[in-house]
Amino acid sequence: MRITPLRVRLLSPMFNYCTVTKGGALTSDFIGDIALTYALNRLLKDQNGNGSPLIVGQHGEFRRKPVYEELNKLPYFFTVARPLRMERTPIYRRYTSFQSDNFFDAEGIFKIRGQNPKYGSFVYKYSFLVQGISPESEFSTCLLSANSFVLPHLPFAVRLGTGRECLALLEQEKSFDDEVWLNAFALKTIFRNLPQAVRILDKSYFFTYKLENYILMKRITIAQTQKIFEDIFDG
Kindly report the pTM of this predicted structure.
0.81
Residue 110 lies in a domain: no
Residue 117 lies in a domain: no
Contact 140, 93 (CB under 8 A): no
Q: What is the pLDDT of residue 111?
A: 59
Residue 122 lies in a domain: no
Lowest mean pLDDT among 2-16, 42-56, 78-92, 193-207: 42-56
Lowest mean pLDDT among 50-54, 114-118, 125-129: 50-54
Contact 205, 219 (CB under 8 A): yes
Q: Is 90 exposed, middle or buried (0-12, 13-18, 19+ CB in 10 A)?
A: exposed
Residue 124 lies in a domain: no
Q: How far apart are CA 195 and CA 187, in angstroms?
A: 9
Domain count within the chain? 1
Residue 136 lies in a domain: yes
Q: What is the pLDDT of residue 108?
A: 57
CA distance between the termini of the chain = 6
